[in-house]
Amino acid sequence: MTSKLSNAQIAWRAAQDIEDGAYVNLGIGFPEMVAKFQPPGKQAIFHTENGVLNFGEAPAAGEEDWDLINAGKKAITLRPGAAFFHHADSFAMVRGGHLDVAILGTYEVAENGDLANWSTGPKGVPAVGGAMDLVHGAKRVAVITDHVTKDDKPKLVKRCTLPLTGVGCVTRVYTSLAVLDIENGRFVLREKLPTMSVAELQAVTGAEMVLPDQIGDLVAPEL
Amino acid sequence: MDKTVPDLATAVAGIEDGMVLMVGGFGGSGAPIELIHALIDRFKATGSPKSLTVVNNNAGNGRIGIAAMIDAGMVAKMICSFPRSADPRAFTEKYLAGEIGLELVPQGTLAERIRAGGAGIPAFYTPASYGTDVAKGKPVAEFDGKHYVQERWLKADVAIIKAELADTLGNLTYRKAARNFSPLMASAAAKTIVQATKIVQPGEIDPEHVVTPGIFVDAIVEVSDPKQEEALMREGVAYA
């Protein structure tokens, strides 16, 4: 293994699958980067839990209006056609199946679609936010993540060991090395870095991958 | 009918020890800072109200607002979804020392519990948290082949919220994303106290634009130049 995608490149790859006109929620932190890489001609409408649809980029420094923030408490701007609503309506959009895509970060994702992204264990102050709601209701729940942890342990696993955010909820995983779907309780390899063999990828994946006849090359531009 | 009260101290005078207090806002957006600080002023002068259960999405930031209430020792328990912030010292220190309680609720469940409280719905089922530690001990049921967790309504003795415009009957509008939990809390509290940036006469708010109808509001105080929590944070203000 010689290289891997940067976080920006993983976000870019995930952005390519968002349809024109899709309603999309991006998790706090790394997933927020996906918004920067919307392909030309494809305009997604972004939802944030605290009650805004169709928000745009961050304002210039000094131009912030702190009544206008996203779920990560960062200042945002509005696009033409934006809407405000209260929290119960916001989560009706989430759980009611009205979002097309939710893209989240993760600590672990399992081959059965279980996601663990809210707690690394009983230490410290627990905080869940909207993650447990977001994993239910969106038509597609995608995860973007490094393929392995900082100490090279698989983040794609047979069963999660960390506290779960949701059961059987993830449908697609974009990593620094590959794109995989979760189908029938298995990771199905769709794309991998062309510089990497299937055997090398399997060695850093914690569950046996299903290998279809067609496996695409995972290629992202320099960003 | 005129629901306006003359000042902040009068507005918060009825909040008593041990009450459940809903506080509007999501982070700094919509946080009723002046009402919170008036409550802290009363506590410093009289030792009351204390032992409060506070409902908010978060658990304070820095040394102002809810964090300053926690610092002052007024809060026995937080019911929230995300007790972290840029500067969560106030809650974190007391929580790790076992001096403050925490009921952690997924954000959408928190919103719906409050909505249900205001709507007279004692319980409901949600897919959120099924199969997780947060659902432990809660009834589970299967509907159309999928599992759901039963959650109970959440009501309060008092809600304090921030509005943009209020008429004297309590009809409210909000500013940008600042409404978040406030319309829900207004309906779920036995008494709802509002700080409004401007109070106008009935008829001056177009009925088409009313977000919270006045039936949910009990007292209004005008705070014409409200402080924004995030702006205070960035100025390094400490209130406690």
ipTM of the complex: 0.97
Angle, vertex CA B127, rays to CA A162 and CA B81, nearest 5: 65
Q: Does A126 touch chain B (CB under 8 A)?
A: yes
The SS3 call for residue A12 is helix
Q: Where residue A6 falls among pLDDT bands split at 50, 70, 90?
A: very high
Q: What pLDDT, on the 0 to 100 scale, is given for residue A3?
A: 86
Q: What pLDDT, on the 0 to 100 scale, is given for residue A116?
A: 97
Chain B nearest-CA distance from A179, in A, is: 26
Q: Do B81 and A127 touch (CB under 8 A)?
A: yes
Q: Do A127 and B92 touch (CB under 8 A)?
A: no
- Write the secondary structure of A170-199 as one string of H (helix), E (strand) and C (coil): CCEEEECCEEEEEECCEEEEEEECCCCCHH
Cβ proximity of B54 and A96 under 8 Å = no
Q: Do A128 and B86 touch (CB under 8 A)?
A: no
Query: To which residue do tokens 């699958």 refer?
Result: A17
Chain A CB contacts of B131 under 8 Å are: 114, 164, 166-167
Q: Does B228 touch chain A (CB under 8 A)?
A: yes
Cβ proximity of B168 and B205 under 8 Å = no
Q: Which residue numbers of A are catalytic?
A: 49
- Among B64, B69, B66, residue whose Cα is nearest residue B83: B66
Q: What pLDDT, on the 0 to 100 scale, is given for residue A124?
A: 85
**Residue A58: is its pLDDT beyond 50?**
yes
Q: Does A163 touch chain B (CB under 8 A)?
A: yes
Q: What pLDDT, on the 0 to 100 scale, is given for residue A121?
A: 85
Q: What pLDDT, on the 0 to 100 scale, is given for residue A205?
A: 98
Q: Where residue A1 falls among pLDDT bands split at 50, 70, 90?
A: very low
DSSP string, B173-223: E--GGG-TTHHHHHHHEEEEEEEEEEEE-TTSS-GGG-SB-GGG--EEEE-
Q: What pLDDT, on the 0 to 100 scale, is given for residue A95?
A: 96
Q: Does A131 touch chain B (CB under 8 A)?
A: yes
Q: What pLDDT, on the 0 to 100 scale, is given for residue A81?
A: 97
Q: Does A27 touch chain B (CB under 8 A)?
A: no
Q: Where residue A173 falls among pLDDT bands split at 50, 70, 90?
A: very high
Question: What percent of chain A shows pLDDT beyond 90?
Answer: 95
Q: Does B85 touch chain A (CB under 8 A)?
A: yes
- The residue extents of the domains of chain A are 7-217
Q: What pLDDT, on the 0 to 100 scale, is given for residue A122?
A: 84
Chain A CB contacts of B132 under 8 Å are: 132, 163-167
User: Amino acid letter at B157?
Assistant: D
Q: What share of chain B is helix, strand, coil (3-state, %, to 5)?
A: 30, 30, 40
**Residue A109: is its pLDDT beyond 60?**
yes
CATH number belonging to domain A7-217? 3.40.1080.10
Chain B nearest-CA distance from A66, in A, is: 6
Mean pLDDT confidence for A130-135: 95
- Among A114, A135, A134, residue whose Cα is nearest residue A182: A114
Residue in B81, B129, B177 nearest the CB of A129: B81
Q: Could you read off the pLDDT of A141-172 as tens digits, one per residue?
A: 999 999 999 999 999 999 999 999 999 999 99
Chain B CB contacts of A52 under 8 Å are: 177
Q: Where residue A137 falls among pLDDT bands split at 50, 70, 90?
A: confident
Q: Does A115 touch chain B (CB under 8 A)?
A: no
Q: What pLDDT, on the 0 to 100 scale, is given for residue A123?
A: 85
The CATH number fitting domain B8-123+154-235, selected from 3.30.1330.200, 3.40.1080.10, 3.40.50.2300, 3.40.50.800: 3.40.1080.10
Q: Which of B56, B78, B107, B181 is most worth mutating to test chain A (most A CB atoms within 10 A of its CB)?
A: B107
- Among B154, B173, B177, B176, residue whose Cα is nearest residue B217: B173
Name the B residues in 99-158 with CB < 8 Å from any A CB.
102, 104-112, 114-115, 126-134, 147
Cβ proximity of A217 and A192 under 8 Å = yes
Q: Do B176 and A84 touch (CB under 8 A)?
A: yes
Q: Could you read off the pLDDT of A29-46 as tens digits, one per residue?
A: 999 999 999 999 999 999
Residue in B131, B147, B176 nearest the CB of A68: B176
Q: Do B132 and A86 touch (CB under 8 A)?
A: no
Q: Do A125 and B83 touch (CB under 8 A)?
A: yes
Give the sign of the dihedral formed by CA A14, CA A17, CA A20, CA A24.
negative
Q: Do B109 and A67 touch (CB under 8 A)?
A: no
Q: What pLDDT, on the 0 to 100 scale, is given for residue A84?
A: 98
Q: Does A87 touch chain B (CB under 8 A)?
A: yes
Chain A nearest-CA distance from B190, in A, is: 19
Chain A nearest-CA distance from B117, in A, is: 12
Q: What pLDDT, on the 0 to 100 scale, is given for residue B98?
A: 96
Whole-number average pLDDT of chain A: 96
- The residue extents of the domains of chain B are 8-123+154-235
**First-to-final CA distance of chain B:** 36
Collect the ranges in chain B with pLDDT lower than 70.
240
